[in-house]
Chain A
Amino acid sequence: MRKRTLSQGISVFGQSLSQFFLLSRRGWRMSARCFTALVGGYAAAAAMASLLARLLPIARVEATMWGMILSFLMFASLGLWAFHERRLWKVALVIWGSTLLSAGIVMAMGIRP
């Protein structure tokens, strides 16, 4: 049996250390996808429901309630789609993009007078 040199030993040690503490590239991508689906999905649903509530041209209490009622359907659909779409960049772009866009419009419009 070949004797292990010091450098090989360090290298093996380093690899197991990185395997122990760090996720693989695959793992990181899966974590990012889960985070986007769960947190991003909620944020996007919240922002789009707020936008809907702000824009609907009906009494504000009614508009608010429709936004809230529909928000969970948006959340569930976005969350599922985040796992169906293969391209992670597209998932992140759509979910975080729609969050920022909707939230931006709501903030720019300000609270309904």
Chain B
Amino acid sequence: MSKAFSGEMRLRQSMAWIHTWLGLLAGWILFAMFLTGTASYFRPEITQWMQPELRLAPVAPRRAAETAVAHMQATSPDDQQWFIYLPNDRTPETRIFAMPKPDPGAKEPKNRSAEIKLDPATGAALNARDTCGGEHFYRFHFQLQLPHPWGRWLAGLCAIFMLAAILSGVITHKRIFADFFTLRWKKGQRSWLDTHNVSAVLALPFHAMITYTGLIALIVMYMPWPIAANYAKHADFYADAYGREADGDASGKPAALKPIGPMVDAASRQWQGGRPRTIVIRNPNDSAATVTILRSGADRLNARGESITYSGATGAKLSQSSPPGAALTTAGVMLGLHLGNFAGPVLRWTYFLLGLTGTAMVGTGSLLWTAKRRKPGAKPFFGFRLVERLNIATIACLPAGMAAFLLANRLIPAGLEGRAALEVSAMFWTWFGLAALTLLRPVRCAWVEGLALSAAAFAALPLVNMVMTDRGLFTSIASGDWLFLSFDGAMLAIAALLGFGSWRAAQVRVAPPRRQRKAAAAEFRPKELLDVA
């Protein structure tokens, strides 16, 4: 054996060894992050589905800005700041957060108000059921429902494990293009290996992209050290990178706020038709008032928006964000690629399907770990049973939890106090409760029944929706309500997929152990594992 060849062999073996450990340690959390992250590509659509009372027609940004300012002028003209999120193609309502003037006596600054939702056409306050909507899956995807900042740190740790697992997986995999066409069904461990390889290789650029850009999304939190090398104050970095936020104080001299409409038009003209997304009005009705208009990321790849600030008292342009350099543009595009806000319907569904292949890659990797170590007849060791049970708890039970979150939205009375938190609890009680129940069943039955219950929960969604709202499947077909129609269709498709999984799990016979080739049997271990004391 030539030296170069054995070196390459050893590299592949060491990478296979570390790939296994990375996947084993982070796999379950990564599965949950992939699945909820995939759902988050439809974040505004899920929110719309979860507030079926709202039926709003699309409105131009200028009109929405005017009605929003009129509403705030009528209700709380003396606030320090208004954050106005304008409606767009996917979120039909105007959302406002208001921040009251700080009380000179109070030590702590006041928090911003609860979200105000408006009908963009009239400026009337909307009254819909309280829910976290799609925002819940989105937040869970990188905060894992843990207290700040631990959830984000844990998600970051799992993401760096994922990145290292992708790199080591690619190195391990010498036949990367040949395996692209290899899928051997009904061959036990071989099939799981092939499924893992196909799902990984098929969308490899997507997996690598989504993992790296995910880390970039929270890079300032995860890797603040380069800032410290160049800036005495972190705030100066933010100002250089994302533009200085208007934080001026009020002058105390009252001055009427100029109409918002011409400012929105001027900004849109300057951006050559780019849509405004957010308007921040600081010190309204004061001579020092500022109006900052931020550009929407929905029409560009770069998610870091430009902004223009106008004087609220005169309407004149005060400042605008400077054009970003190559590094800032790179980071902005990476964030844009991760969030996918620029994607139209076709690309969005593609994102969704690619996200599912990522979920499948992580899931099949975890299953492969057990398939490889299963020895028929022998009593499984503790670690094996632990991994097997955690696989069931994550892969078979998490979908049921997600369906329970959506079911709870329809079943909890619309006016109940604290219902938004109850919906979230429903997800975790169902997920962990079902996971605990599967412990009572033998492994085979636990798979079959867990997946079947998840399938049933998704299949129930269109039915419960039909009973509890006036926007059921047949009404949607008759009225051409595409969002509700697609939602029901997607739930049925997911139910079918989980049902297929359950049926397959019932078919599986434990395959006789494959005769291990010598090369594969000599598993790589770092040196210290070989010096047996």
Chain A positions within 8 Å of B, measured between CB atoms, are: 24-26, 29-30, 33, 45-47, 49-54, 58-69, 71-73, 75-77, 79-80, 83-84, 86-88, 106, 111-112
Contact = CB atoms under 8 A, between A and B. Distances in A.
Interface of B: 11, 14-15, 17-18, 160, 163-164, 167-168, 212, 215-216, 219-220, 222-223, 225-232, 237, 240-241, 325-328, 330-331, 334, 526-529, 531-533
Contact of A62 (B222, B231, B326, B529): B326
B230 A76 contact: no
B520 to A, nearest CB: 19
Contact of B231 (A33, A60, A77): A60
Nearest to B13: A84
Given A46-B225, A66-B327, A84-B14, A72 B212 contact: yes
B325 A67 contact: no
A63 B230 contact: yes
A84 B528 CA distance: 12
Contacts, number: 130
B160 A76 contact: yes
A76 B158 CA distance: 12
B205 to A, nearest CB: 16
9 contacts: A33-B526, A62-B328, A68-B220, A69-B216, A72-B212, A72-B215, A72-B216, A83-B14, A112-B230
Given A24-B533, A72-B163, A80-B164, A49 B325 contact: no
A76 B163 contact: yes
A50 B533 contact: no
Nearest to B17: A83
B325 A59 contact: yes
A79 B26 CA distance: 15
A53 B241 CA distance: 14
Contact of A26 (B168, B219, B528): B528
Contact of A54 (B220, B229, B325): B229
A98 to B, nearest CB: 14
Contacts of A29: 528
